[in-house]
C-alpha cells in the first residue's frame, strides 16, 4: 500500500485529521513535560494516509480478511475483534492483557456509531472458543463482522487515539532517568511516515507498556519498553529500522521469559514479520 511521503516534524503526540474539510480531532491528551519542557507539536495525516494505516493494521492482524474481524485464537481465553483485534473478555475472566473492545465500543458510540447490540455487552457473550465457533456464521457474529467491515475509519481513529494517549502515560510510568530517552526516541521514530505507522500499530499490537501485568520476569514488551531498548541512532529511517529491531529484541525476550506451557515461540515468525514492516518506507 503506497502512502504519499511526508516531511514530518518530531512530535510528541500523534494527531489524525480526515482532510481539510474536517475539523481536527478534539480528544488530545495533555502534552507531556520532559525536564521542565512542555511539548505539543502535533502531526496530522490525511484521510487517505489514515485509511492506509488502518488497512495495514487489518492486514497485520488477520490478513485483511473479513472473517478475521471476529476471531478466537487457539490457546487464548477470549476473542479478538475488529481490524485491531481488540480483546473482549468473557464474564468471570480477568487476564493479564489489557481489554480494549469495551473501550472501543464506548469510543464509537460517543461518536454517533450504532454498534450492534451484541457488541455493546460489557462481557463477551460467548464463554469459550467452542461456543464462539459454533455461532461463527450465526446472525450475531455475521452482523458484527459486517458492521466492522463498514466502519474501518472509526476503528482506525480509536487506534490513533490510543497511540496519542500512550506517550504521556509511558512517561508517567517510566523511571525518571529513562523519560528523556523515551521521549527522544519517540520523536526520532515519528520523524518519518512509516515511523508514525510503527508507533500507531505497535501500541495496538502489544500495548503501551504501562500495564504492570503485561510482563514476564519483570520485563515488558510494550511500546515503552521498545523505546527504552532502542540504541542511539539518528532520526529518520535509521530510527524506524532501529525501532523494528528493538521491538524484535523485546518480543524475543518475552518468548524466552514466557511460561513454557503457553508455547509463545510459535508466534515469533509472525511477530518478526510484522516488525519488519516498520522499517519499510511507506
Domain spans in the chain, listed from the N-terminal domain onward: 13-279
CB 239, CB 188: distance < 8 Å: yes
> HEC profile for 100-118?
CHHHHHHHHHHCCCCCCHH
pLDDT at site 32: 39
- CA 152, chain centre distance (Å): 14
Opening angle at CA 93, ends 88 and 98, nearest 5: 50
CB 157, CB 16: distance < 8 Å: yes
pTM check: above 0.85: no
CB 236, CB 191: distance < 8 Å: yes
Rounded to whole angstroms, the Cα distance separating 173 from 159 reads: 21
Integer angstrom CA distances of residue 268 from 253, 256, 275: 11, 11, 11
Task: Single out the residue of 183, 70, 191 nearest to residue 136, CA to CA.
Answer: 70
Query: Tens digit of pLDDT per residue, the chain (282 long)?
Result: 333 333 333 333 344 433 323 333 333 333 334 443 433 334 456 677 778 888 888 998 888 999 999 999 988 999 999 998 999 999 998 887 889 999 999 999 999 999 999 999 999 999 999 999 999 999 999 999 999 999 998 998 898 888 778 889 999 999 999 999 999 999 999 888 788 889 988 988 898 999 888 999 999 999 999 999 999 999 999 999 999 999 999 999 999 999 999 999 999 999 999 999 999 887
Amino acid at each position: 500500500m503506497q502512502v504519499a511521503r511526508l516531511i514530518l516534524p518530531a512530535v510528541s503526540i500523534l494527531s489524525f485529521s480526515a482532510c481539510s474539510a474536517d475539523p481536527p480531532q478534539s480528544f488530545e491528551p495533555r502534552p507531556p513535560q520532559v525536564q521542565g519542557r512542555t511539548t505539543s507539536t502535533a502531526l496530522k495525516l490525511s484521510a487517505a494516509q489514515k485509511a492506509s494505516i488502518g488497512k495495514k493494521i487489518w492486514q497485520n492482524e488477520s490478513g485483511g480478511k473479513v472473517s478475521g474481524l471476529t476471531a478466537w485464537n487457539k490457546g487464548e481465553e477470549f476473542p479478538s475483534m475488529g481490524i485491531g483485534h481488540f480483546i473482549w473478555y468473557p464474564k468471570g475472566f480477568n487476564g493479564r492483557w489489557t481489554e480494549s473492545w469495551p473501550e472501543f465500543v464506548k469510543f464509537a458510540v460517543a461518536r454517533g456509531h450504532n454498534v450492534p447490540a451484541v457488541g455493546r455487552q460489557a462481557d463477551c457473550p460467548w464463554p469459550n472458543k467452542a461456543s464462539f465457533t459454533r455461532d461463527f456464521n450465526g446472525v450475531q457474529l455475521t452482523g458484527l463482522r459486517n458492521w466492522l467491515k463498514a466502519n474501518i475509519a472509526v476503528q482506525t481513529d480509536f487506534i490513533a487515539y490510543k497511540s496519542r494517549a500512550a506517550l504521556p502515560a509511558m512517561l508517567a510510568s517510566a523511571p525518571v532517568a529513562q523519560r528523556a530517552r523515551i521521549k527522544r526516541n519517540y520523536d526520532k521514530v515519528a520523524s518519518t511516515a512509516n515511523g508514525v505507522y510503527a508507533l500507531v500499530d505497535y501500541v495496538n499490537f502489544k500495548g503501551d507498556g504501562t500495564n504492570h501485568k503485561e510482563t514476564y520476569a519483570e520485563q515488558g514488551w510494550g511500546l515503552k519498553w521498545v523505546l527504552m531498548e532502542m540504541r542511539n541512532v539518528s532520526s529518520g529511517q535509521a530510527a524506524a529500522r532501529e525501532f523494528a529491531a528493538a521491538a524484535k529484541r523485546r518480543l524475543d525476550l518475552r518468548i524466552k521469559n514466557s511460561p513454557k506451557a503457553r508455547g509463545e515461540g510459535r508466534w515469533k515468525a509472525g511477530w518478526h514479520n510484522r516488525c519488519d514492516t516498520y522499517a519499510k518506507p511507506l
